[in-house]
């Protein structure tokens, strides 16, 4: 079997594209890691995380206000 440099280059480019696709898919999967398999429990977890994020945002805003006022 004879393999040319252009064949190897083409295969290398295909591999790079596949690796990009795999990284993209892994990021999607990672976003769901830690969520329960049950959809209702996953929604509850998301709701709680959203509430926590909002609470932290309020704390940050309060601290920034105090820094400006001082």
Q: Residue 67: is its pLDDT beyond 80?
A: yes
User: How far apart (Å, rounded) are the C-alpha atoms in residues 48 and 12?
Assistant: 45
The model's pLDDT over 10-57, given as tens digits with 9 standing for 90+, comes to 999 999 999 999 999 999 998 888 888 899 999 999 899 999 999 999
What is the distance between the alpha carbons of residues 6 and 1, in angstroms, rounded to a whole number? 15
Q: Where are the domains of the chain?
A: 1-33, 36-70
Q: CB atoms < 10 A from the CB of 38, how many?
A: 10
Dist CA 5 CA 35 (whole Å) = 46
């Amino acid at each position: 079997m004879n393999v040319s440099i252009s064949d190897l280059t083409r295969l290398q480019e295909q591999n790079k594209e596949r690796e990009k696709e795999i990284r993209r898919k892994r990021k999607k999967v990672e976003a769901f890691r830690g969520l329960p398999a049950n959809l209702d429990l996953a929604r509850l977890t998301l709701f709680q995380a959203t509430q926590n994020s909002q609470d932290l945002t309020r704390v940050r805003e309060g601290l920034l206000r105090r820094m400006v006022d001082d």
